[in-house]
Each structure stands twice: as C-alpha cells, then as structure tokens.
Amino acid sequence: MGVDHIEFLDNGAVVVRQFYPGQVLRDIITRANPKNGYLKKYCQPKKRKTFQLNEIKMITFQLLEALQFLHDKGVAHG
C-alpha cells in the first residue's frame, strides 16, 4: 500500500494512503458487519476471528511500517 500524499503542518502531519476496501481490523476480529452502528458491532461481540499466519504477517507489517514512519518523523508514540 503506497503513500499518495504527505503534508506537514505546524501542529502535525497528514498522510493519505491508498484506500483499502476491506473492513477495519476491529471489524475483522469481531466479525462485525461494517454497516452496523458502533453499539451493535462492538458492545456484545458474539464471534471472534482466528487469523491465518499470512494475515498476522500482513497486519504486523502494516503496524510496524506505521510505527517506523512515526519514528522517522520524530513523532512520539507509545
């Protein structure tokens, strides 16, 4: 997933990446319908997803890539 645009402002930065048409990670884990409201999706999740190794690798890589970007820009994170 490439970066389309980066803009640095006095009080932060904006990064625009290519759109990923899938669900957000939380929806995937809880097997929630992304069209449902917050309360219906997350307050009483009934199912959890088991991830395959290749999915874990992809998610981990994306998280580490985001942390590396923050580190390279001197942004505090934790």
User: Tell me, what's the pLDDT at 12?
Assistant: 78
Whether residue 38 lies inside any domain: the answer is: yes
Whether residue 75 lies inside any domain: the answer is: yes
Q: Lowest-pLDDT range, 8-12, 13-17, 58-62?
A: 13-17
Whether residue 43 lies inside any domain: the answer is: yes
Whether residue 12 lies inside any domain: the answer is: no
The mean pLDDT value of the chain amounts to 78
* Cα separation, 11 vs 30, whole angstroms: 34
Instruction: Look up the domain containing 48 and give its range.
Output: 22-78
Strands, E assignment, 10-64: 12-17
Instruction: Tell which residue, 65, 57, 76, has the closest CA to residue 15.
Output: 65
Tell me: pLDDT of 1 over 60.
Answer: no
Whether residue 73 lies inside any domain: the answer is: yes
pLDDT in tens, 19-54: 666 667 777 777 777 788 878 777 776 667 788 899
Whether residue 78 lies inside any domain: the answer is: yes
Instruction: Tell which residue, 51, 30, 34, has the closest CA to residue 42.
Output: 30
Whether residue 3 lies inside any domain: the answer is: no
User: Tell me, what's the pLDDT at 30?
Assistant: 76
Domain count, the chain: 1
